[in-house]
Amino acid sequence: MNIKRKGEYEIIDLISQKIIDVETEKPMINELLCRPKNMSVAEYFSVNDTIELWHREEIIFQKATKFESEVPINVNITISSLPFFMNMNYSWNGGIELVEWSQDSEYVQDIREYIHQLKKRDFKVWLDDLTEDTWEAWRNIDVTGFKVRYKDIQNNLAFLNELKKCNKPIIVEQIEKLSEKENVQRLGLQLVQGFLFDRF
């Protein structure tokens, strides 16, 4: 189904989930998340055609340019959509998060140049869902910062210490309990995100 011919996929909402300074609890970034009105998020993005996926993501970028926020915004993008995005003039105050990149290995070979060009356009570039198993592939890629799930660092100080050596910001996701927030503070991390701060 072609989005440009069929308007039903344009019926989406954007909701924001705050990325919080763990000490002050002030929002530092708003991550914009897609919420389709007539299907699940999984259904919206479950397409095999790269061009079709780009059209669905582009609707989000169009809405992001009009989104009002007092702090910078982050918008998700799949690596397969980066070549299309680079040919467009979308801009906003904030950055993009590279998501579902493990499924797009054929595009990763060009990632260094994409990131370089995105930074020239004043975008921050965050890598989503970094794990110990994928760290080696990304440790020398010049992203702005990393997002990791709480469960992947809570009992893995070796991985966390490797991340810290890069001197790049780390966002810890899936913080749902006060005890998890307090543990992140003890680990010396500054940025957190999760249902403890936003519940939809």
Residues 137-148 pLDDT 10s: 898 999 999 999
Please report which confidence band the pLDDT of residue 10 belongs to, taking 50, 70 and 90 as the band edges: low
Note whether 45 and 61 are within 8 A (CB): no
Note whether 77 and 107 are within 8 A (CB): no
How open is the CA angle 154-155-161, to the nearest 5 degrees?
A: 85
Please report which confidence band the pLDDT of residue 2 belongs to, taking 50, 70 and 90 as the band edges: very low
What digits encode the pLDDT tens for the residues 79-122?
889 999 999 999 999 999 999 766 555 666 789 999 999 999 99
Average pLDDT, the chain: 90
What digits encode the pLDDT tens for the residues 36-69?
988 899 999 998 899 999 999 999 999 999 999 9
Please report which confidence band the pLDDT of residue 198 belongs to, taking 50, 70 and 90 as the band edges: confident
Residue 95: DSSP 8-state? E
72 pLDDT higher than 60: yes
Residue 177: DSSP 8-state? S
Please report which confidence band the pLDDT of residue 73 belongs to, taking 50, 70 and 90 as the band edges: very high
Residues 6+ apart with CB under 8 A from 49: none
The pTM assigned to this predicted structure is: 0.90
Return the CATH superfamily for domain 7-192: EAL domain (3.20.20.450)
Domain ranges of the chain: 7-192
- Residue entry with tokens 């790269």: 50
CA dihedral of 133, 136, 139, 142, whole degrees rounded to 10: -100
Per-residue model confidence (pLDDT) at position 187: 96
d(CA 180, CA 184): 6
Using alpha carbons, select from 32, 39, 33, 35 the residue that is nearest to residue 6. 39
Per-residue model confidence (pLDDT) at position 7: 58
Per-residue model confidence (pLDDT) at position 102: 62
Residue 120 vs residues 86, 98, 125, 140: alpha-carbon distances, Å: 11, 17, 11, 19
d(CA 193, CA 195): 7
